[in-house]
């Protein structure tokens, strides 16, 4: 069975995995991410770590077929166009890794990697969706769109930026991307907490929260203001997801990130609102579920992309 390296490149840690075609983790290790000097040493650090592992595998008569890498920024071919946390602009990472290891390399944005990982190995093993909308609700709102088993990357590597859809809202919020009133401003954990705190303040309540979990604890306790904040957040999210669904007609919609840990307190109302807003022809014909893979999703997605690259070269199809 073929094996590949799955690399999850983060701002503090670079996580490495060896993953086989069945989605099994054969090995894992990690090194710190050195962001000094604009992240100039990162490609060399990755190459050194991979070559060391390859030497060990060679001694055992084992081989690796390719490398898949998830990176925190838009990707165009073998170039990472921007990775703010790493200090990169137009970093030819794919070329450098291929030159340094002799293995074929494929790059993809980390949110897209998580989307692919979830579509491949998350959920019901008897059901593998080939068209998926994936959204993560954390400090920000990330996401990815998969169509016919392939990541929708776009002309500039910016497709699937679910969190930066414009929102019509009564107030104005500044987004980290430079725009105002992005979906992220209202559906991230940060946005959800702000909505709740604004409602409490308007009601003359001195409570102020910093964590989405704390607000959901109030939702579970039946607090009317917390429930109102949840419902506002869900409404924005359902409208945004429905817009994407009307474009790509997915089999599956997957919700991950910290807010998804609220479980039915989030997913139940979201299912109802999504059913209200989706195009009638798709109603009842898609699966809405929580992400299940956690931190493994990115490595699995990067590996899957590598397997896809190998399959395409052999004239095969993964899903």
pLDDT, tens digit (0-9, with 9 covering 90-100), for 3-29: 999 999 999 999 999 999 999 999 999
pLDDT > 60? residue 122: yes
Beta strands in 57-110 (DSSP E): 67-71, 75-76, 79-83, 88-91, 105-109
* pLDDT value, residue 127: 60
Distances (CA, A) of 66 to 102, 118, 204, 236, 307: 9, 20, 59, 40, 8
pLDDT > 80? residue 256: yes
* pLDDT value, residue 304: 95
Domain range 3-109+295-313, its CATH number among 3.30.420.40, 3.40.190.10, 2.40.50.100, 3.40.50.1000: 3.30.420.40
* pLDDT value, residue 100: 97
> What's the alpha-carbon Rg for the chain, to the nearest Å?
21
Domain range 123-292, its CATH number among 3.20.20.10, 3.40.50.620, 3.40.1710.10, 3.30.420.40: 3.30.420.40
pLDDT, tens digit (0-9, with 9 covering 90-100), for 260-316: 999 999 999 999 999 999 999 999 999 999 999 998 999 999 999 999 999 887 656
pLDDT band at residue 158 under the 50/70/90 scheme: confident
Measured CA to CA, the distance from residue 130 to residue 115 in angstroms comes to 11
* pLDDT value, residue 49: 98
* pLDDT value, residue 319: 52
Contact 17, 27 (CB under 8 A): yes
Q: CATH 3.30.420.40: which residues of the chain?
A: 3-109+295-313, 123-292
Residue with tokens 């799955």: 6
pLDDT band at residue 154 under the 50/70/90 scheme: confident
């Amino acid at each position: 069975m073929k094996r590949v390296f799955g690399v999850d490149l983060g701002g503090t840690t670079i996580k490495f995995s060896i993953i086989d075609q069945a989605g099994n983790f054969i090995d894992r290790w990690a090194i710190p991410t050195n962001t000094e000097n604009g992240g100039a040493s990162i490609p060399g650090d990755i190459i050194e770590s991979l070559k060391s592992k390859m030497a060990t595998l060679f001694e055992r008569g084992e081989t690796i077929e390719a490398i898949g890498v998830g990176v925190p920024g838009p990707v165009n071919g073998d170039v990472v166009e921007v990775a703010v946390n790493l200090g990169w602009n137009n970093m030819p990472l794919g070329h450098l890794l291929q030159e340094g290891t002799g293995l074929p390399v494929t790059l993809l944005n980390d949110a897209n990697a998580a989307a692919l990982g979830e579509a491949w190995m998350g959920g019901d093993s008897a059901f593998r969706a080939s068209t998926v909308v994936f959204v993560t609700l954390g400090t920000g709102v990330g996401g990815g769109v998969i169509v016919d088993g392939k990541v929708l990357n776009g002309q500039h590597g910016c497709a699937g930026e679910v969190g930066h859809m414009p929102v019509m809202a009564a107030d104005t919020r500044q987004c980290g991307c430079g725009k105002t009133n992005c979906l992220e401003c209202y559906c991230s954990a940060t946005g959800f907490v702000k909505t709740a705190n604004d409602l409490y303040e308007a009601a003359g309540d001195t409570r102020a929260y910093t964590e989405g979990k704390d607000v959901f604890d109030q939702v579970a306790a039946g607090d009317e203001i917390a429930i109102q904040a949840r419902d506002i957040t869900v409404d924005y999210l359902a409208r945004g997801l429905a817009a994407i669904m009307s474009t790509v007609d997915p089999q599956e919609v997957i919700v991950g990130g910290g807010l998804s840990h609220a479980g039915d307190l989030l997913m139940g109302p979201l299912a109802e609102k999504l059913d209200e807003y989706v195009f009638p022809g798709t109603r009842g014909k898609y699966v809405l579920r929580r992400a299940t893979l956690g931190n493994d999703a990115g490595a699995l997605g990067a590996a899957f992309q590598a397997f896809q690259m190998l399959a395409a070269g052999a004239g095969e199809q993964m899903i």
